[in-house]
Amino acid sequence: MRCEIIAVGTELLMGQIVNSNGAAMARELAGLGIGVYHQTVVGDNEERLAAAFSLALTRADLILFSGGLGPTNDDITRETVARVLGLPLEQSDVWVEKLHEFFKRVNRPLAQSNLRQANLPRGGKLLLNDRGTAPGIFLEHEEKIIVLLPGPPGELIPMFHNQVIPLLQEKLKNEDGLAVLKSKVLRVTGLGESVIVERIKEVLERQDNPTIAPLAKGGEVHLRITARAGTGMAAERLLEAKALEIREILGDAIYSEGEEGLEFSVAQLLRQKKRTIAVAESCSGGLLSHRLTNVPGSSAYMLAGLVTYSNEAKVNMLGVDPQLIESEGAVSEGVAQQMAAGARRVGKAHIGVGITGIAGPDGGTAEKPVGLTYIALETGDFKLCRRFEFWGSRPEIKERASQVVLHLLRQYLLGKFKDR
C-alpha cells in the first residue's frame, strides 16, 4: 500500500510551525508495512490543495491529511476533499450533539461556524476527538482510503494511533496485505560515505528486500537497513542477515546499531579497559566533555574537563610553555601535545586529550585557515597528534572536532595504534 501525507496550513509553509505530524504518522505506518512515498505541504488555498489531492489520487492508495478541519474560513480540507471526489457534505447529528455538550461544559456560546466541523463527505466514518472540537474522517472511495485528521499533534497523534491504525490493520488483514516494515541503523565512523558505498557496492547493487540507504550525518555515516516481511520475527531475520553481510565487509568501522552516538561506544571501551580520561579543550569549548559526560555512569572514566580558551589558561592551568605559544602559535601541534599532557597530569588520568583550533568564522589566515585544528592524545607511553582542516559553520567545526577525537580514542582503545 502506497501512502501520501498532505499537511495543510500556511503557517507550515512560513516556518511558524514545524510539521512533526508527518514523521509521527510515517513511523507508525512503517510498522504495518505501509510505505510513505510522498509528503506534501500546502497552504490554506483551495485550488492548490485540490491540485495536490488530485495528484495524490493518481499515485497513492492511502492519503492522509493533517490540518484544515477547524471552524474558520481558511479551514478548507473537508470541503476541498468532498469537491474533488464529487461527494456531498452531510452533517453528523452525533457530532452536533458533541459540540453542544462541549460548549455548554466550557460555558461558551456555540457559534454557527463551529457546526461546519460536523460535516462529513458522504460515506465517511467519524473519528472521535476527545481533545478538541474537530473530528477526524475515515473515507473509502473507489479503492482509495482518505483520512482527514486535525492539525494539532495533541489531537492528531492519539486519534491516529487509537482509531486510524486499527482500521488500517483490519483493512490490510482482510486483503492479506498486512506486513511488517522494520529498520535498523548501522553507525559507521572513520570512513567517508563514498568509501563505504564503494566497499559495499555489490551488496547495494543486488539489494531488494532488505533495502540499504547510506546517509552522511554529523561526521559519520549511517546505513539504514529496512526489511518487509509478514511477521516481526521474519523481518528481524532479514535485517540481521543483511547487517552481518555488511559487518563482514566494514568490520569494526561499524561502532553501533540504533540511536546511541560514538561517545557511548567510547565510554563502553573505557570501562572495559579500565581507563580514565582528562580533556583540555580550546576551540571545541567543552563539547567533547559534554558528550563524554552525557553517558550515564561517566564518573567511572571522566576525571576532568578543562576549557582553556585563552593562552593564559593554557599556560597557568595546563603548564603549556609560553615561549612555544609565542613561536608556534596557540593553534599548533606542540601546543596540542602539551595540552594533552597537562590535562592528563592535572586530572591524574590514564589518557589526556588536547584540542586547539580555529572555529571561525573569523580568526583564520592563509597559513592557518578557519577550521584548522590539532588534536592530541597522550598516555605517557603513547603520543599522537593529528592535523585537520574542518569545514562548515562554527558549531559544525566544533562538532566535527569532537567526533574525530572520539574516533581516535576508539581506535586507540581498540589497539589500532602502537605505543611509541
- Cα distance between residue 168 and residue 64, in whole Å: 12
Q: What pLDDT score does 98 carry? A: 93
Nearest to 8 by CA among 134, 166, 113, 110: 134
Provide the residue count of the chain.
420
Instruction: Assess contact for 336 and 374: CB atoms under 8 A.
Output: yes
Assigned CATH for 2-174: 3.40.980.10
Residues 311, 314, 317, 318, Cα dihedral to 10°? -160
- Each residue of 26-50: pLDDT tens digit? 999 988 888 899 999 999 999 999 9
- Cα distance between residue 401 and residue 356, in whole Å: 9
- Cα distance between residue 357 and residue 335, in whole Å: 10
- Cα distance between residue 69 and residue 324, in whole Å: 68
- Each residue of 384-419: pLDDT tens digit? 999 999 999 999 999 999 999 999 999 999 999 865
What's the average model confidence in pLDDT over 248-273? 96
Lowest mean pLDDT among 44-53, 212-221, 260-269, 307-316: 212-221
Residue 184 pLDDT grade (very low, low, confident, very high; cuts 50, 70, 90) = very high
What's the average model confidence in pLDDT over 309-328? 97
pLDDT for 68 beyond 70: yes
* Residues of each domain in the chain carrying CATH 3.90.950.20: 262-413
Neighbours of 367 (CB within 10 A): 7
pLDDT for 177 beyond 90: no
What's the average model confidence in pLDDT over 295-303? 97
* Residues of each domain in the chain carrying CATH 3.40.980.10: 2-174
Residue 180 pLDDT grade (very low, low, confident, very high; cuts 50, 70, 90) = confident
What is the grid cell recorded at 398?
Answer: 566544533
Q: What pLDDT score does 366 carry? A: 92
Question: Which has more pLDDT, 380 or 144?
Answer: 144
Residues 235, 236, 240, 241, Cα dihedral to 10°? -40
Neighbours of 88 (CB within 10 A): 10
- Cα distance between residue 206 and residue 95, in whole Å: 53
Task: Show Cβ contacts of residue 51 under 8 Å, excluding neighbours closer than 6 positions.
Answer: none
- Each residue of 188-203: pLDDT tens digit? 999 999 999 999 999 9
Question: Which has more pLDDT, 346 or 181?
Answer: 346
Question: Distance between alpha carbon 89 and the CA centroid of its chain, in Å?
Answer: 40
What is the grid cell recorded at 392?
Answer: 562548515
Residue 178 pLDDT grade (very low, low, confident, very high; cuts 50, 70, 90) = low
What's the average model confidence in pLDDT over 155-164? 96
- Residue 383, SS3 per DSSP: strand
What is the grid cell recorded at 3?
Answer: 501512502
Q: What pLDDT score does 176 carry? A: 63
* Residues of each domain in the chain carrying CATH 3.30.70.2860: 180-257
If you search the block for the grid coordinates 572536532, which residue do you land on? 401
Nearest to 287 by CA among 337, 341, 218: 218
Nearest to 292 by CA among 269, 273, 272, 266: 266
The CATH T-level fold of domain 262-413 is Maf protein (3.90.950)
The CATH T-level fold of domain 180-257 is Alpha-Beta Plaits (3.30.70)
Neighbours of 130 (CB within 10 A): 10
Q: What pLDDT score does 359 carry? A: 96
- Each residue of 108-152: pLDDT tens digit? 999 989 999 999 999 999 999 999 999 999 999 999 999 999 999
Query: What is the average pLDDT score of the chain?
Result: 94
Q: What pLDDT score does 285 carry? A: 97
pLDDT for 420 beyond 50: no
